[in-house]
Amino acid sequence: MQATEGKALVAQYGPEPELERRLKTLHGWLVNEAYPRWADQGYDRHRGGFQELLESAGPVVGVPRRARVQVRQLYAFARAAELGWNGDATELVTRGWEYFFRNYRRPDGLYRTLIRPDGTALDDRALLYDQAFVLLALAESHRRGGRLESAQLTAARQLRGKLFELLKCAGPGYRSGLPEALPLLANPHMHLLEAAQNWALVDADPAWQAMADEIVALALGHMIDPGVGALFERFDEHWRALRGDLDRLVEPGHQFEWAWLLLRARGSSPADRCIEAAMRLVDIGETYGIHGGVAVSSLHADFSVHDGQARLWTQTERLKAALALARLTHDSRYWNAATLAAHSLWRYLDAGAPGLWHDRLDAGGAFRAEPAPASTFYHLVVAIAEGRLDEGTA
C-alpha cells in the first residue's frame, strides 16, 4: 500500500484494519442479502405497499401498515443504487409513492398514521414523527431523480407549509400531532432535523435551512440538560423537561443519533457548541449506555439502567456517531467505539436467514425469536452508508 493510501484509510477507519473489514462485511450483507430479500418479499405486489414484518418463509400477512414504515422503506430503496444494489429500485420507489399518496394523505394535507393493507384507515391521527419521515423520504427520492422528481419537491414544500400552519408552536418547535399537542417530544424533532438537513442539500429554498437551524438551537438550548449534558425526551409547552421518573429517561440510541445530526449541523450553526454537545452525548452513551458489549434501550436520569434490553437500531446509531466523531477528531477512542459498534451490529445480522435480523437482545443476552421488522431497515441503510470508504457523512 502506498503511504498516501495508508493515510487515507487511517483517516476513514483509524489505525485498525479490523474496522475496515467489518464495515465492508456490513456493506456486502446489505447489497447481497438485505436489499434482494426485502425487494422480493418485502413489497406487496398484489395490493401495493411495503410489508411490516418478514420471516424466513416470507411476509407476515395481514399486519396493519404504519405510515412511517412505508416512507422509511421508500428512503431505503431510494438509496439502493448509490449503495451498490443493481435491482430495480426505481420501480419500487415509484409504486411505493403511488400507494402512499393514495392511502395515507388526509384532506388537510398531512398524513395519517395507520391503515389496513387494503388501504382502509385504522388510525387517522397525523403525528409529527410520521410527517418528518415523509419529508426525509421525499428528499432522498428527489435527490435520486426519476419521473416523480417534481411531484416530490411539490409534495415536500406543501407538507412543510402544512406543518407551519397546523403544528407549529407559538415559539420554537412543533406540536406532537393532531390531535395530540402535548407533551412536546424530542424524537420527532430529531427526524425533522434530519429531513430538513437533507432537503437543504437538494433545494435552494432557504426555509429548509431555517427549519434545521431552529431545531438545532432548540436541542442545544432546551432538550439537552445543561447540568448533565444528556438529552431528554418529553417536555411541557415551554420546552421544560417533564419531571416524572419516566419522563426523564435517557435513551443511549438517541444520544448517539442527536450527536450525529449535530455534527452534520456544525457548518451552519455554532460549530464549537455543536461539537461540544455531540461529544458529551456520545461520551454519555459510551460510558453509561453500553452493557454486555451492546447499547441498551434506556437509562434513568442518574445514568443507571432502566431498560437493559438492546434494540438493533441503537447499535446502528452508536456506529454512526462514533464514525462521525472519529473522522472529525481522529481520536483513537472513537475509532475503537466504531469498531466495537460494528462488531455488535453484526451479531444482530447473523440471524440464520439471509437479509433478515434479530431486533431485540434481552437483558440476559438472548435474542428474542420474532420476525424482522421493516422499520429497522432505514437505520441499517444509514449506518452502513456512513461506514463506506467513499461515502463520508450522508
Q: Which residues of 351-379 are buried (b: 16+ CB within 10 A; e: fewer)?
A: eeeebbbbbbbeeeeebeeebbbbbbbbb
Radius of gyration of the chain (CA): 20
How many Å apart are CA 376 and CA 211, to the nearest integer? 26
Q: At CB < 8 A and 24+ separation, what contacts does 61-64 make? A: 61/117, 62/117, 63/117, 64/114, 64/115, 64/116, 64/117, 64/122
Checking if the pLDDT of 4 tops 50, the result is no
Q: What is the dihedral of CA 57, 59, 62, 64, to 10 degrees?
A: 150
Q: State the pLDDT confidence band at 145, using cuts at 50, 70 and 90.
A: confident
Grid cell at residue 59:
411476509
Which pLDDT value is given to residue 107? 98
Over range 109-119, report the average pLDDT. Answer: 97
Burial class (CB in 10 A: 0-12, 13-18, 19+), 118: exposed
The CA angle 211-234-68, to the nearest 5 degrees, is 60
Q: How far apart are CA 252 and CA 317, in angstroms?
A: 9
Mean pLDDT of 119-138: 98
pLDDT of residue 14: 61
Does pLDDT of 268 surpass 70? Answer: no
Instruction: Give the pLDDT confidence score for residue 38 in this predicted structure.
Output: 98
What is the percentage of the chain residues whose pLDDT exceeds 90? 88
CA dist list (Å): 163 to 71, 125, 131, 382: 17, 14, 8, 25
Give the C-alpha separation, 41 to 319, whole Å.
28
Give the pTM: 0.94
The Cα 223–Cα 171 span in angstroms is 14
| pLDDT tier at 391, thresholds 50, 70, 90 | very low
Whether 167 has a pLDDT exceeding 90, the answer reads: yes
pLDDT exceeds cutoff 60 at 151? yes
Q: Which pLDDT tens digit goes with each residue over 343-363?
A: 999 999 987 899 999 999 999
Backbone angles phi, psi at 231, to 5 degrees: -100, 125
Tell me what percent of the residues of the chain surpass a pLDDT of 70: 93
Q: What span, in angstroms and rounded, lies between the C-alpha atoms of 69 and 2?
A: 45
Q: What kind of architecture, by CATH, is found in domain 21-386?
A: Alpha/alpha barrel (1.50)
pLDDT score recorded for residue 170: 95
Give the confidence band of 254 by pLDDT, cuts at 50, 70, 90: very high
Q: Judge whether residue 394 has pLDDT over 50.
A: no
Mean pLDDT of 328-357: 95
Nearest to 115 by CA among 50, 57, 45: 50
pLDDT of residue 275: 96
pLDDT band for 11, please (50, 70, 90 cuts): low
Helices 312-329 & 271-288, crossing angle to 10 degrees?
A: 130
pLDDT at 186 over 60: yes
